[in-house]
Amino acid sequence: MEKQERGHIVALPLPAQGHVNPMIQFSKRLISKGLKLTLITVPPLEMDNIPPIQAGVGGETIGFERLSFPTKEEEGVSSDIQGNFQSYYKQFRQLVSIQLPQIVEKHKNMQASYPVSCLLYDSHFPWALDVAKQLGLAAAPLFTQSCAVNTIHYNVHQGLLRIPLREDQDEALVCMAGLPRLEIFDLPSFFYDREADPFILALLASQFSNFAEADFIFVNTFDSLEEQVVSWAARQWPAIKNIGPTIPSMYLDKRLKDDKDYGLSLFKPEADICRKWLDSKGDASVVYVAFGSMATLGEEQMEEIAWGLKRSERPFLWAVRESELKKLPRNFIEETTEKGLVVPWCPQLEVLAHEAVGCFVTHCGWNSTLEALSLGVPMVAVPYWSDQPTNAKFVMDVWRVGLRAKLNKRGIVTREEVELCIKEVMEGESSLEIKRNSEKLKVMAREAVDEGGSSDNNIQQFVNKLVCA
Ligand code: UDP
């Protein structure tokens, strides 16, 4: 391909695992279609040696540019994204606003590079649109949550839904174009969690402050998954294109052996231990349990889940992050060594794709939900916060690929409920229907990303436009 024909994108992810994964995978797809892509890393994403990330077929790799905060001593800067998100976010914005133009300039002047023509950024950075425009680049936000959840936040931004909802509305149903009727507890947690951080609420709504001015708008979903709300959104904003599920190609097309993980993990997975353990288990016998990279369950909730797993009498593999380990009941690991394996972090895709896994107890983060859907694994939803309750609602009532565990009066999922849901999903009356639906969605996910599928077409059209620009 001639040098001037190749589009070059700079991609700016939010450095949290659930945001990095879709950005990286989308980046790989863009590269495999001929674009050049440079990904910006900012601590905590910055690692000493980022391994080359191949873009499936073709052997091209993602380019990296690292931004660094001034040292802590000098500026009182914190790269602790979990500890104080608001302060982190402000520093991140400042850092990017200063250093990103320098990077774009550098690539402009590099002989071996291609002129940067587009800034692809996480939708949580609406200000990046101005940065792109100032640099003369096309602006393209990537929304990493579902179209349904985006629509709800859009309604908040428009003042059509207020947060938190009034006390007297607790029993009400919420109606929005393109969405099924939702009860209060089906909405993102900020609608009913009166202790929710107002900064995060404002940030979620702000994603829609200028998105209609973007040149391209991408969402990590696929058309047939959220048909109704997707067609509603497409009528309002034709620039919206669904490009998901952003799952490494090997899991959607077994012929591709190389693209088997996202490529950039903030945690170290216990791949060998998990693989060996799963290999020793029967088909569809294992319960895989994971609550993503951020959820911090209360001690009582952890305890109930732990004893619920034991009561289910199924083999289980549970990813409990280092920082959460102390919440496990005393002696739990010792008492369950026969049945269970607890590790700090799993190679989740590989685990979900293993024949031994028959059920996924999940917090319903959007990536985890899409991964389970794309690999046909039935779910038990135990949502924790943010968009997870809405995803859980869709899992149980719209796609019917799992059950949502009920809360008791004190807001806890009890051990009996955990046991009941696992048994029902794996062998109960509804299990056959759930498995059938899971298989159906797995096929639909594959169709969307296969050559000529809806998401593949959307990506191809974007690539064509950048190349011709
Ligand atoms: N994940 C993983 N190993 C684990 C737990 C999670 O690789 O033990 C990955 C998972 O595959 C997903 C991401 O971490 O891609 C979590 O994203 P999600 O949106 O599900 O949840 P979040 O971490 O944002 O709450």
**pLDDT tens column, 381-428:** 999 999 999 999 999 999 999 999 999 999 999 999 999 999 999 999
CA–centroid distance, 292 to ligand 1, in Å, is: 4
How confident is the model over 69-79, as a mean pLDDT? 60
- Do 288 and 388 share a domain, yes or no? yes
What is the per-residue pLDDT for 30?
95
The verdict on ipTM greater than 0.90 is yes
Kindly state whether residue 192 falls inside one of the protein's structural domains: yes
Choose the residue to mutate in 266, 293, 363, 364 for probing ligand 1, maximizing ligand atoms within 8 Å of C-beta.
293
User: 402-404 and 379-381 as β-strands: parallel, antiparallel, unpaired?
Assistant: parallel
Q: Look at residues 96, 140, 142 and name the one whose alpha carbon lies nearest to residue 118.
A: 140
CA–centroid distance, 269 to ligand 1, in Å, is: 11
Mean pLDDT lowest for which of 244-253, 270-279, 357-366? 244-253
What is the per-residue pLDDT for 125?
98
Domain, as residue range, for 373 = 271-445
Kindly state whether residue 3 falls inside one of the protein's structural domains: no
Pocket of ligand 1 (CB under 6 A): 17-18, 21, 290, 292-295, 319, 345-346, 348-349, 365-368, 371
Mean pLDDT lowest for which of 69-73, 114-118, 207-211, 425-429? 69-73
14 against 162, higher pLDDT:
14
- Tokens representing residue 351 in the block: 């685990």
* Closest CA to ligand 1's atom 13: 18
Annotated catalytic residue 354: no
Whether residue 1 has pLDDT greater than 70: no
Mean pLDDT lowest for which of 51-60, 95-104, 311-320? 51-60
Confidence band, pLDDT 50/70/90 cuts, at residue 191? confident
What is the per-residue pLDDT for 58?
63
What is the per-residue pLDDT for 57?
55
Q: Which atom of ligand 1 is nearest to the CA of 352?
A: 11
- Do 236 and 310 share a domain, yes or no? no
Measured distance CA(336)–CA(261) in Å, rounded: 30
Residue 305: which CATH number?
3.40.50.2000
Kindly state whether residue 228 falls inside one of the protein's structural domains: yes
- Do 255 and 359 share a domain, yes or no? no
- Do 174 and 200 share a domain, yes or no? yes
CA–centroid distance, 121 to ligand 1, in Å, is: 20
Q: Which of 19, 107, 124, 153 is catalytic?
A: 19
What is the per-residue pLDDT for 55?
72
- Do 237 and 366 share a domain, yes or no? no
* Closest CA to ligand 1's atom 11: 348
Query: What end-to-end distance do the CA atoms of the chain give, in Å?
Result: 15
What is the per-residue pLDDT for 108?
80
How confident is the model over 218-245, as a mean pLDDT? 96
CA–centroid distance, 342 to ligand 1, in Å, is: 16
CA–centroid distance, 348 to ligand 1, in Å, is: 7
Q: Which of 122, 259, 261, 387 is catalytic?
A: 122
At 371, phi and psi to the nearest 5?
A: -65, -45
Kindly state whether residue 39 falls inside one of the protein's structural domains: yes
At 42, phi and psi to the nearest 5?
A: -130, 140
How confident is the model over 102-107, as a mean pLDDT? 92
Kindly state whether residue 2 falls inside one of the protein's structural domains: no
Number of domain units in the chain: 2
Confidence band, pLDDT 50/70/90 cuts, at residue 173? confident
- Do 306 and 176 share a domain, yes or no? no
Annotated catalytic residue 261: no
Q: List, for residues 56-67, the tens digit of each pLDDT value.
A: 556 788 999 999
- Do 130 and 235 share a domain, yes or no? yes
- Do 139 and 71 share a domain, yes or no? yes
- Do 434 and 456 share a domain, yes or no? no
Kindly state whether residue 340 falls inside one of the protein's structural domains: yes
- Do 297 and 394 share a domain, yes or no? yes
Query: Using CA atoms in the order 406, 409, 410, 416, what is the torsion angle rounded to 10 degrees?
Result: -50
Choose the residue to mutate in 324, 348, 360 for probing ligand 1, maximizing ligand atoms within 8 Å of C-beta.
348
Which residues in 112-133 are b (16+ Cβ under 10 Å) and which e? ebbbbbbbbbbbbbbebbebbb
What is the per-residue pLDDT for 291?
98
* 8 Å CB contact between 328 and 302: yes
Whether residue 144 has pLDDT greater than 80: yes
Q: List, for residues 288-331, the tens digit of each pLDDT value.
A: 999 999 999 999 999 999 999 999 999 999 999 999 999 999 99
Whether residue 249 has pLDDT greater than 90: no
Kindly state whether residue 1 falls inside one of the protein's structural domains: no
What is the per-residue pLDDT for 166?
58
Confidence band, pLDDT 50/70/90 cuts, at residue 175? confident
* Closest CA to ligand 1's atom 2: 348
Place of tokens 């802590």: 72
- Do 147 and 292 share a domain, yes or no? no
How confident is the model over 232-242, as a mean pLDDT? 95
- Tokens representing residue 171 in the block: 């029993």
- Do 233 and 281 share a domain, yes or no? no
Q: Which atom of ligand 1 is nearest to the CA of 292?
A: 23
Sheet with 286-290: list strands edge to edge: 340-343, 316-319, 286-290, 357-362, 379-381, 402-404
CA–centroid distance, 18 to ligand 1, in Å, is: 6
Kindly state whether residue 354 falls inside one of the protein's structural domains: yes
Whether residue 203 has pLDDT greater than 90: yes
Confidence band, pLDDT 50/70/90 cuts, at residue 75? low
Is 194 strand, coil or helix?
A: coil
